[in-house]
Amino acid sequence: MPSPFSHTSAVRLLPLIAFCLLNAFLTGCKPDGYAELGLVGVTGKVTLDGQPLAGANVVFESPDKRTARGLTDAEGKYALMYDSETPGALPGPKVVRITIADVGVEGGGAGEGSAFTGKERLPARYNRQSKLTADVSASQKTFDFELKSAP
Tens of pLDDT along the chain (151 residues) come to 555 555 555 556 566 565 655 555 554 444 456 677 889 999 999 999 999 999 999 999 999 999 999 999 999 999 999 998 899 999 999 999 999 975 444 544 444 444 555 678 899 999 999 999 999 999 999 999 999 998 7
Are 67 and 60 in contact, with CB atoms under 8 Å apart? yes
Domains and CATH numbers, the chain: 35-147 (2.60.40.10)
Q: Per this entry, what is the length of the chain? A: 151
The residues near 36 (Cβ < 8 Å, ≥ 6 apart) are none
Backbone angles phi, psi at 48, to 5 degrees: -125, 120
Of 89, 98, 114, 108, nearest in space to 46 by CA: 98
pLDDT at 118: 63
CA–CA gap between residue 90 and residue 38 (Å, rounded): 7
Of 34, 33, 35, 54, nearest in space to 45 by CA: 54
